[in-house]
Amino acid sequence: MISDHLNQWLTEHADLLDSGHINEAELLPKLAADEVFKIGVPTSLGGVGGEVADSVEAIAQVASQSLTAAFVFWGHRAFIEYLLQGDNPELRERLLPSLLSGELAGATGLSNAMKYLAGIESLGIAVRKPIDDSKRLLDGVLPWATNLRKEGFVVAAAVEVENEQPLIAALPSHLAGINRSDDLDLIALRASNTASIKVENASLTDEWVISHSANNFLPQVRPAFLAMQCGMSIGLARRCLVAAKQQLGPTRSALRDDYEGVDRHLSHAGKQLQKGLSKQRFIKHPAELFAIRLTLAEVVANAAQLELQASGGKAYVHNAANGFARRWGEAAFIPIITPSVVQLKAELLRHQEVLFI
Ligand SMILES: Cc1cc2nc3c(=O)[nH]c(=O)nc-3n(C[C@H](O)[C@H](O)[C@H](O)COP(=O)(O)OP(=O)(O)OC[C@H]3O[C@@H](n4cnc5c(N)ncnc54)[C@H](O)[C@@H]3O)c2cc1C
């Protein structure tokens, strides 16, 4: 699905993307040139058609080479999905061409909103002062967002509105009062343009509102948001398993059953994800998707362990060629992406559903 050319570029640049020793501006245009952002976008809107499931697979293929690239892909593609599912066709028409071509970076600051939806925290951005029915002044903070390209971005955020439902807004980097921090000092994924945003007296007009009803919009968009996140786990786990398998010679045969088990879990969770997406089950049954995301987080942890154990001592030596150290750091990101493993476990307890997947 992704071209050999992109695959090769990602293989060659994965460590640099992770360590940040690369011009991070290169990444988004590289992905866009492969037309990956057009996957799952209707042809009538400039895409190449297909389903969210196709985007999941494309993100998985990118994640097999570089989680930094896959996470940027996810953030950008999630923003596109918000426009597709939002109720502002003018905004969609205005932004979609430059997002699909990679000229404009789309970022999703909706972790906070997803936690809000689950009753975990309050919204970080609020209307400070309504000006009139279609214009307000905003204040607040988005502590984390990825793909905040210095060349220009637009970031989706939920905004609290007094006596009304929260709304979902697109905040463009050129808007006065939108202040990006320096890149956060991450332990991995350093070329991901991850920073925080301070919003001070920013004027938001209706033309930048993606949805006036966060309470309807968030559950509706959550299956795509989460499923595409699962693509990152699937790709990373696949890659760790490939590396582990290469090491399963006679001296490592004791690991064979473990390998088969993790491989089976990965394949089963992947199929459950595809099935749920094709039957559109996850809007009504979000707990099923939470369970898949949890299983995949476990699969990634187990696959990285397997790669370590199968590789033995050489995994512990600096060696850019095997990529293990990078994958180990990448794997550490999977449990803490919102919805994090902790949040999902709490949410499943709340749902009181026993799911066998
Ligand atoms: C590399 C990376 C990229 C991310 N990109 C995005 C994105 O694009 N969009 C998005 O919405 N979210 C993004 N996030 C946020 C992520 O989805 C989680 O919300 C975040 O990891 C917090 O998870 P949590 O809810 O478990 O922690 P929380 O419960 O929010 O925090 C746990 C503890 O850590 C502290 N803490 C949190 N952040 C920081 C910090 N920066 N410095 C110091 N202390 C801190 C908190 O105060 C708290 O005490 C990103 C996170 C990372 C690590």
Task: Pick the last residue of a domain from 213, 236, 266.
Answer: 213
* Token pair recorded at residue 153: 């971005």
**pLDDT at position 134, please?**
83
The DSSP bridge pattern shows strands 105-108 and 153-159 to be parallel
From the CA of 144, how far away is ligand 1's center (Å)? 6
From the CA of 111, how far away is ligand 1's center (Å)? 8
Burial, 19: exposed, middle or buried (Cβ in 10 Å; 0-12, 13-18, 19+)? middle
pLDDT tens sequence for the chain (357 residues)? 899 999 999 999 999 999 999 999 999 999 999 999 999 999 999 999 999 999 999 999 999 999 999 999 999 999 999 999 999 999 999 999 999 999 999 999 998 898 888 777 899 999 988 888 788 999 999 999 999 999 999 999 999 999 999 999 999 999 999 999 999 999 999 999 999 999 999 999 999 999 999 999 999 999 999 999 999 999 999 999 999 999 998 888 899 999 999 999 999 999 999 999 999 999 899 999 999 999 999 999 999 999 999 999 989 998 767 899 999 999 999 999 998 999 999 888 887 644 443
Nearest CA to 126 among 96, 169, 70?
A: 169
| Cβ 336 under 6 angstroms from ligand 1 | yes
Please state, in angstroms and as integers, the Cα–Cα distance from residue 223 to each residue in 106, 277, 292, following that order.
Answer: 19, 8, 11
Residues 68 and 131 in one domain: no
77-92 burial code (b ≥16 CB/10 A, e <16): bbbbbbbbbbebeebb
CATH number at residue 325: 1.20.140.10
Task: Pick the last residue of a domain from 166, 196, 213.
Answer: 213
Residue 191 included in any domain:
yes
CATH number at residue 174: 2.40.110.10
**pLDDT at position 135, please?**
86
Radius of gyration of the chain (CA): 20
Residues 117 and 54 in one domain: no
**pLDDT at position 49, please?**
97
**pLDDT at position 352, please?**
64
Query: Is there a contact between 235 and 60 (Cβ–Cβ < 8 Å)?
Result: yes
The pair phi, psi for residue 142, each rounded to 5°, is -110, 110
Nearest CA to 108 among 182, 30, 217?
A: 217
Residue 142 included in any domain:
yes
| Cβ 65 under 6 angstroms from ligand 1 | no
Residues 289 and 344 in one domain: yes
Residue 343 included in any domain:
yes
Residues 224 and 339 in one domain: yes
Q: Which domain holds residue 204?
A: 108-213
pLDDT, tens digit, 9 for 90 and up, residues 249-290: 888 889 999 999 999 999 999 999 999 999 999 989 999 999
| Cβ 104 under 6 angstroms from ligand 1 | no
How many residues appear in the chain?
357
| Cβ 194 under 6 angstroms from ligand 1 | yes
* Token pair recorded at residue 276: 């749920």
The pair phi, psi for residue 109, each rounded to 5°, is -100, 35
| Cβ 197 under 6 angstroms from ligand 1 | no
Task: Pick the last residue of a domain from 71, 103, 135.
Answer: 103
Indicate which residue's Cα is closest to atom 16 of ligand 1.
337
Residue 34 included in any domain:
yes
CA distance linking residue 290 with residue 312, whole number of Å: 33
Residues 89 and 139 in one domain: no
Domain tally, the chain: 3
**pLDDT at position 356, please?**
43
CATH number at residue 53: 1.10.540.10
